[in-house]
Chain A
Amino acid sequence: MELFELTVHALQQKLASRQVSSEEIVKSIFARINKVDDKVKAFITLTEEDALNKAREVDNAGQYKGIAGIPLGLKDLFCTPGVNTTCGSKMLADFVPTYASTAFRRLEEQQGILAGKLNMDEFAMGSSTENSSFFATCNPWDLTRVPGGSSGGSAAAVSADEVPFSLGTDTGGSIRQPASFCGVVGMKPTYGRVSRWGVIAFASSLDQVGVISKDVYDNALIMKIIAGHDHLDSTSAALDVPDYTACLDGDIKGLRVAYPQEYFGSGVDAAIKDAIKKALLKYEELGAIVEEVSLPHSEYALPAYYLVAPAEASANLARFDGVRYGYRDNEAENMEAMFSQTRCQGFGDEVKRRIMLGTYALSSGYYDAYYLKALKVRRLIADDFTRVFKDFDIIVAPTTPTTAFKLGKQSGDPLTLYMNDILTVPVNMAGLPGMSIPCGFDQGMPIGMQIIGKAFDEATIYKAAYAYEQSTNFHTMKPALGVE
């Protein structure tokens, strides 16, 4: 196997036993990127020279602790000092942060090496990465299809072996859905588990940082590094972070697994339902107790989400006014015109649509009917999960209703595109941890299985995901990409 194909834990072993240097790994990664990224188009910015310099520093120091010397990619909304952070938007095309997001800083403290910044839907709004202001990313399994979104670049880059792992964010499915579409492992931890400081905000009560990786072990390993309280984010939880890799023993005898009937409805492709049902049989084989349950308010999660998330976004994105950072229309003659022209030229269609929707839902006369109503429904959705988790350890469901769809196919009607999030959004509304792992293929395209856990119980999700992964070989399959 080539170095660029290896997992983080395999690279750690090779570094520790001095079989390879960090410089060789970084060179291998960039050779791979140079070979495939004109097809996949996962990266907005590459940081090759810095990466090579850092690799040499690590090699010279000769200490390979943690993820020292291992390359990584970041969704382009994590602030990186001295490196452009665009959020996939014309608004921030030239924005160069002067500080590092906490999640990235924790990786850098262990001498993880940034390879580049990854494409995304503008301001993380979308399910296909086609809403990027710059270009669309392609699915490595079929270049005519989308990688999912909004963390589409993060999932595609891991799937195409351009980086061993990446970070993304998930507000309504933006880690799990692209992980599912690209056949990789993606974890959105509990709201509050990872600091959001230095991460450009979309919807602050829903956004959460997570990890996209080639296998479950790597995901657990990286999550342990980035998770934990941060005084710079007052919503980050002051709880201990367990050693997630320590619980990966494959023993899930007696684990109580629920599958919600509402997640197997007529909108979900038959091939996907079959793959999840097979996975449930596998869980029984491994000694778990599997039962059907009901989450009766599931169908209301999506309409509630599309009020709450845009409302929060409209407030968060008010800061882009052309004064302190980002794009400005320099032609505007007065202050009012500068605000509204800057915003109209700097934001793309989907972002404007959501700002308008959110502003409407929060505006005088409509607040109670839309925003407050949605928050009440949000409570009912969270209560559904609480009830099920009294008797069960995890919930298993499909991640997406379909496999990756064709590029350019679904951009016409916004509501149709929003339907892609129907199986992932409830988890964000309830603030719970959710993961997607590969569990099959339909006509050559990967299928993802979603595992949902109790609040702050990522450990049980990792344990269950690992047991399944180790008894199957879906995670070892690689896209051909038409190269040697």
Chain B
Amino acid sequence: MALTIKEVEHVALLARLSLSEDEKVKLSQQLGAILNYADTLNTIPTDNVEPLTHILSVHNVFRADEVQPSMPREEMLANAPLVEAGYYKVPKIM
């Protein structure tokens, strides 16, 4: 079953993607088909199964709370599309 265009637009907003009308139509079909396929998972019972989020049983790996050098500002900014006075520059927000 295809997704509605409204559903596609809602997900596109969450994902911050400005899709063209063509893309919306195509994605409504394609996502529908993939989700249909994903529904085959519902044929297996999983009521008492613990979800497996991570293969390794590691939790909260901490390092010692010691000050370490961080990346120099110039390097951090080196790949930014727009920089001014040592800051990232973006369009007006307010």
* Chain A interface residues (CB < 8 Å from chain B): 94-99, 191-192, 205, 231, 234-235, 237, 297, 299-300, 303-304, 306-307, 314, 318, 321-328, 330, 332-341, 343-344, 347, 352-353, 355-357, 359-360, 363, 370, 372-380, 382, 414-415, 418, 430-431, 455
Contacts and interface: CB of A to CB of B under 8 A. Distances in A.
Contact of A380 (B49, B55, B56): B49
Contacts of B93: 334-335
24 contacts: A95-B79, A205-B55, A234-B58, A235-B56, A235-B58, A300-B40, A300-B41, A304-B38, A324-B76, A324-B79, A330-B81, A337-B91, A339-B16, A341-B18, A344-B19, A352-B17, A355-B17, A356-B17, A360-B11, A360-B31, A377-B41, A379-B49, A414-B30, A415-B33
B50 A323 contact: no
B90 A338 contact: yes
Interface in B15-47: 15-19, 23, 27, 30-31, 33-35, 37-38, 40-42, 44, 46
A356 B90 contact: no
Contacts of A99: 71, 75
SS class, residues of chain A in contact with chain B: helix
A303 B16 contact: no
A357 B55 contact: no
Contacts of A205: 53-55
Contacts of B38: 303-304, 306-307, 370, 374
A356 B58 contact: no
Interface of B: 3, 7-8, 10-12, 14-19, 23, 27, 30-31, 33-35, 37-38, 40-42, 44, 46, 49-56, 58, 61, 63, 71, 75-76, 78-82, 88, 90-93
A453 to B, nearest CB: 14
A430 B55 contact: yes
A270 to B, nearest CB: 25
A135 to B, nearest CB: 23
B34 A357 contact: yes
Contacts of B88: 323-324
Contact of A325 (B11, B18, B51, B79): B79
Given A192-B56, A300-B44, A356 B51 contact: no
Contacts of A343: 15-18
A297 B81 CA distance: 47
B64 to A, nearest CB: 10
A332 B91 contact: yes
Nearest to B3: A360
Nearest to B24: A356
A321 B46 contact: no
Contacts of A378: 51-52
Contacts of A376: 46, 49-52
B14 to A, nearest CB: 5
